[in-house]
Structure 1
Amino acid sequence: MIFLIILLIIVCLALGLFVLIQNPKGGGLATGGSGSNMFGVQRTGDVLEKGTWIFLTLIVVISLSITTIAKSGSTGSTDSKIQHLLDKTPTPSPINQAPAGQKPAPAPANQTKPAK
Protein backbone atom coordinates (compact mmCIF):
# COMPACT_ATOMS: atom_id res chain seq x y z
CA MET A 1 0.00 0.00 0.00
CA ILE A 2 2.90 2.33 0.72
CA PHE A 3 4.17 1.62 -2.79
CA LEU A 4 0.84 2.71 -4.27
CA ILE A 5 0.84 5.93 -2.25
CA ILE A 6 4.37 6.77 -3.41
CA LEU A 7 3.39 5.93 -6.98
CA LEU A 8 0.32 8.18 -6.66
CA ILE A 9 2.48 11.08 -5.48
CA ILE A 10 4.89 10.61 -8.39
CA VAL A 11 2.03 10.46 -10.91
CA CYS A 12 0.46 13.60 -9.39
CA LEU A 13 3.74 15.48 -9.72
CA ALA A 14 4.12 14.31 -13.31
CA LEU A 15 0.56 15.41 -14.11
CA GLY A 16 1.24 18.83 -12.62
CA LEU A 17 4.38 19.13 -14.73
CA PHE A 18 2.50 18.11 -17.89
CA VAL A 19 -0.21 20.67 -17.21
CA LEU A 20 2.28 23.45 -16.51
CA ILE A 21 4.34 22.94 -19.66
CA GLN A 22 1.34 22.84 -22.00
CA ASN A 23 0.82 25.75 -24.30
CA PRO A 24 -2.37 27.68 -23.45
CA LYS A 25 -5.22 27.02 -25.86
CA GLY A 26 -6.49 30.61 -25.65
CA GLY A 27 -9.38 32.23 -23.84
CA GLY A 28 -9.60 33.08 -20.20
CA LEU A 29 -6.38 34.18 -18.57
CA ALA A 30 -4.25 32.77 -21.40
CA THR A 31 -5.16 35.45 -23.97
CA GLY A 32 -2.67 37.98 -25.25
CA GLY A 33 0.30 35.69 -25.98
CA SER A 34 2.39 35.73 -29.13
CA GLY A 35 1.01 33.95 -32.16
CA SER A 36 4.21 32.43 -33.58
CA ASN A 37 4.09 28.71 -34.21
CA MET A 38 7.84 28.23 -34.66
CA PHE A 39 8.51 24.85 -33.03
CA GLY A 40 5.45 22.87 -34.03
CA VAL A 41 3.35 23.56 -30.95
CA GLN A 42 0.36 21.62 -32.27
CA ARG A 43 2.26 18.32 -32.39
CA THR A 44 3.79 18.87 -28.94
CA GLY A 45 0.38 19.85 -27.62
CA ASP A 46 -1.11 16.56 -28.80
CA VAL A 47 1.55 14.55 -26.96
CA LEU A 48 1.17 16.60 -23.80
CA GLU A 49 -2.62 16.35 -23.95
CA LYS A 50 -2.49 12.57 -24.32
CA GLY A 51 0.02 12.37 -21.48
CA THR A 52 -2.28 14.47 -19.31
CA TRP A 53 -5.19 12.10 -19.93
CA ILE A 54 -3.00 9.06 -19.25
CA PHE A 55 -1.73 10.50 -15.96
CA LEU A 56 -5.27 11.49 -14.98
CA THR A 57 -6.46 7.94 -15.65
CA LEU A 58 -3.55 6.54 -13.62
CA ILE A 59 -4.45 8.80 -10.68
CA VAL A 60 -8.05 7.58 -10.72
CA VAL A 61 -7.04 3.90 -10.97
CA ILE A 62 -4.38 4.15 -8.24
CA SER A 63 -6.73 6.09 -5.93
CA LEU A 64 -9.47 3.52 -6.35
CA SER A 65 -7.06 0.66 -5.72
CA ILE A 66 -5.72 2.33 -2.56
CA THR A 67 -9.29 2.81 -1.34
CA THR A 68 -10.17 -0.81 -2.10
CA ILE A 69 -7.10 -2.12 -0.30
CA ALA A 70 -7.72 0.13 2.71
CA LYS A 71 -11.37 -0.93 3.00
CA SER A 72 -10.65 -4.63 2.66
CA GLY A 73 -8.17 -4.43 5.52
CA SER A 74 -5.68 -6.75 3.85
CA THR A 75 -2.77 -4.90 5.42
CA GLY A 76 -2.59 -5.68 9.11
CA SER A 77 0.50 -3.60 9.83
CA THR A 78 -1.08 -0.18 9.29
CA ASP A 79 -3.32 -0.24 12.34
CA SER A 80 -1.26 -2.37 14.69
CA LYS A 81 0.09 -0.12 17.44
CA ILE A 82 -2.04 2.96 16.91
CA GLN A 83 -5.33 1.09 16.67
CA HIS A 84 -4.42 -1.00 19.71
CA LEU A 85 -3.77 2.16 21.75
CA LEU A 86 -7.01 3.72 20.54
CA ASP A 87 -8.97 0.63 21.53
CA LYS A 88 -7.47 0.67 25.04
CA THR A 89 -8.08 4.38 25.64
CA PRO A 90 -11.26 4.93 27.67
CA THR A 91 -13.75 7.35 26.23
CA PRO A 92 -14.16 10.46 28.34
CA SER A 93 -17.50 11.02 29.99
CA PRO A 94 -19.50 14.08 29.02
CA ILE A 95 -19.23 17.15 31.22
CA ASN A 96 -21.23 17.04 34.48
CA GLN A 97 -21.96 13.34 34.19
CA ALA A 98 -20.32 10.74 36.35
CA PRO A 99 -19.37 7.32 35.02
CA ALA A 100 -21.91 4.56 35.56
CA GLY A 101 -22.23 3.50 39.19
CA GLN A 102 -20.74 6.67 40.70
CA LYS A 103 -22.42 9.67 42.23
CA PRO A 104 -21.53 13.05 40.84
CA ALA A 105 -19.30 15.22 43.02
CA PRO A 106 -21.15 17.70 45.20
CA ALA A 107 -21.18 21.30 44.07
CA PRO A 108 -18.79 23.57 45.95
CA ALA A 109 -20.36 25.72 48.66
CA ASN A 110 -20.57 29.42 47.99
CA GLN A 111 -17.86 31.19 49.90
CA THR A 112 -18.32 34.81 50.84
CA LYS A 113 -15.49 37.22 51.28
CA PRO A 114 -14.81 38.28 54.88
CA ALA A 115 -15.65 41.89 55.63
CA LYS A 116 -12.73 44.25 56.01
Structure 2
Amino acid sequence: MTFLIILLIVVCVALALFILIQNPKGGGLATGAGSSNMFGVQRTGDVLEKGSWFLLALIVVLSLAVTTIAKTSGTAGSVDSELQEQVDKLPNPSPIGGGTGTGTATPPPPAASKDTTKK
Protein backbone atom coordinates (compact mmCIF):
# COMPACT_ATOMS: atom_id res chain seq x y z
CA MET A 1 0.00 0.00 0.00
CA THR A 2 2.78 2.43 0.90
CA PHE A 3 4.58 1.54 -2.32
CA LEU A 4 1.49 2.39 -4.36
CA ILE A 5 1.10 5.74 -2.61
CA ILE A 6 4.76 6.62 -3.25
CA LEU A 7 4.39 5.53 -6.87
CA LEU A 8 1.27 7.68 -7.19
CA ILE A 9 3.16 10.73 -5.89
CA VAL A 10 6.04 10.12 -8.32
CA VAL A 11 3.62 9.79 -11.24
CA CYS A 12 1.86 13.03 -10.20
CA VAL A 13 5.17 14.89 -10.16
CA ALA A 14 6.10 13.41 -13.55
CA LEU A 15 2.74 14.51 -14.98
CA ALA A 16 3.29 18.03 -13.68
CA LEU A 17 6.69 18.12 -15.36
CA PHE A 18 5.26 16.78 -18.62
CA ILE A 19 2.62 19.49 -18.60
CA LEU A 20 5.11 22.25 -17.81
CA ILE A 21 7.49 21.16 -20.57
CA GLN A 22 4.82 21.10 -23.29
CA ASN A 23 4.93 23.86 -25.86
CA PRO A 24 1.69 25.85 -25.78
CA LYS A 25 0.60 28.10 -28.63
CA GLY A 26 2.52 31.09 -27.30
CA GLY A 27 5.71 29.23 -26.37
CA GLY A 28 6.61 27.79 -23.00
CA LEU A 29 9.34 26.06 -21.09
CA ALA A 30 10.02 23.82 -24.08
CA THR A 31 11.32 26.83 -26.06
CA GLY A 32 14.38 27.03 -23.84
CA ALA A 33 15.44 23.46 -24.63
CA GLY A 34 17.93 24.68 -27.23
CA SER A 35 19.43 22.20 -29.67
CA SER A 36 18.42 19.08 -27.74
CA ASN A 37 15.36 18.69 -29.94
CA MET A 38 15.95 15.23 -31.41
CA PHE A 39 12.39 14.54 -32.66
CA GLY A 40 11.50 17.87 -34.16
CA VAL A 41 8.89 20.30 -32.89
CA GLN A 42 5.79 18.38 -33.97
CA ARG A 43 7.00 14.97 -32.79
CA THR A 44 8.10 16.34 -29.42
CA GLY A 45 4.63 17.74 -28.87
CA ASP A 46 3.04 14.42 -29.81
CA VAL A 47 5.30 12.46 -27.46
CA LEU A 48 4.67 14.84 -24.57
CA GLU A 49 0.92 14.84 -25.18
CA LYS A 50 0.73 11.05 -25.35
CA GLY A 51 2.94 10.79 -22.29
CA SER A 52 0.65 13.17 -20.41
CA TRP A 53 -2.40 11.11 -21.28
CA PHE A 54 -0.59 7.92 -20.26
CA LEU A 55 0.45 9.40 -16.91
CA LEU A 56 -3.07 10.66 -16.33
CA ALA A 57 -4.49 7.18 -16.96
CA LEU A 58 -1.85 5.72 -14.65
CA ILE A 59 -2.87 8.16 -11.90
CA VAL A 60 -6.50 7.07 -12.23
CA VAL A 61 -5.57 3.37 -12.08
CA LEU A 62 -3.24 3.86 -9.09
CA SER A 63 -5.85 5.93 -7.24
CA LEU A 64 -8.47 3.25 -7.74
CA ALA A 65 -6.00 0.56 -6.66
CA VAL A 66 -5.08 2.44 -3.47
CA THR A 67 -8.76 3.02 -2.67
CA THR A 68 -9.65 -0.63 -3.27
CA ILE A 69 -6.77 -1.90 -1.16
CA ALA A 70 -7.59 0.54 1.64
CA LYS A 71 -11.21 -0.60 1.70
CA THR A 72 -10.42 -4.32 1.70
CA SER A 73 -7.54 -4.24 4.17
CA GLY A 74 -8.54 -4.60 7.78
CA THR A 75 -5.95 -2.21 9.19
CA ALA A 76 -7.87 1.03 8.69
CA GLY A 77 -11.16 -0.51 9.79
CA SER A 78 -9.66 -2.06 12.91
CA VAL A 79 -8.17 1.26 13.95
CA ASP A 80 -11.57 2.91 13.55
CA SER A 81 -13.29 0.17 15.52
CA GLU A 82 -10.68 0.33 18.29
CA LEU A 83 -11.21 4.08 18.58
CA GLN A 84 -14.96 3.61 18.65
CA GLU A 85 -14.63 1.03 21.43
CA GLN A 86 -12.53 3.43 23.50
CA VAL A 87 -15.05 6.22 22.97
CA ASP A 88 -17.89 3.90 23.98
CA LYS A 89 -16.06 3.02 27.23
CA LEU A 90 -15.82 6.67 28.27
CA PRO A 91 -18.58 7.92 30.56
CA ASN A 92 -21.08 10.30 29.03
CA PRO A 93 -20.46 13.86 30.17
CA SER A 94 -23.27 15.62 31.95
CA PRO A 95 -24.96 18.23 29.78
CA ILE A 96 -25.03 20.62 32.76
CA GLY A 97 -21.40 20.18 33.68
CA GLY A 98 -19.95 18.52 36.70
CA GLY A 99 -21.58 15.42 38.05
CA THR A 100 -20.52 11.82 37.69
CA GLY A 101 -21.05 11.49 33.98
CA THR A 102 -23.87 9.01 34.27
CA GLY A 103 -26.29 11.33 32.57
CA THR A 104 -28.58 11.48 35.66
CA ALA A 105 -27.08 14.52 37.33
CA THR A 106 -29.49 16.65 39.29
CA PRO A 107 -29.72 20.29 38.37
CA PRO A 108 -28.34 22.82 40.83
CA PRO A 109 -30.84 24.43 43.19
CA PRO A 110 -32.33 27.71 41.99
CA ALA A 111 -30.56 30.81 43.20
CA ALA A 112 -32.28 32.62 46.01
CA SER A 113 -33.70 35.87 44.79
CA LYS A 114 -32.82 38.93 46.82
CA ASP A 115 -35.43 41.51 47.36
CA THR A 116 -33.80 44.77 46.36
CA THR A 117 -36.88 46.95 46.72
CA LYS A 118 -36.96 49.40 49.63
CA LYS A 119 -39.88 49.31 52.02
Q: TM-score range by the shorter chain?
A: 0.5 to 0.7
Matches within 5 A, 1:29-44: 31=26, 33=27, 39=37, 40-44=40-44
Residue in 2 that maps onto 1:87? 85
CA spacing shift, 1:85–1:45, aligned 2, 3 Å: same
Q: Count matched residues.
A: 103
- Report which of the two structures shows the higher radius of gyration computed on alpha carbons: 2
Using structure 2 for the length normalisation, give the TM-score: 0.64
> CA shift at 1:106, angstroms?
1.5
Name the amino acid aligned to 2:82: H
CA distance in 2: counterparts of 1:94 and 1:64, whole angstroms: 44
Structure 1 runs (4+) deviating above 3 angstroms are: 78-83, 90-101
93-102 or 57-66, larger mean C-alpha shift: 93-102
RMSD across aligned positions (CA): 3.6
Distance (whole Å) between structure 2 residues aligned to residue 59 and residue 94 of structure 1: 49
- Give the corresponding residue for 1:103: 105
Give the aligned residue type for 1:61: V
Q: Give the alignment's TM-score, normalised by structure 1.
A: 0.65
The answer as to 2:62 corresponding to 1:62 is yes
Opposite residue 56 of structure 1, the aligned amino acid is L
Highest RCO, 1 vs 2 (Cα 8 Å, sep ≥ 6): 1
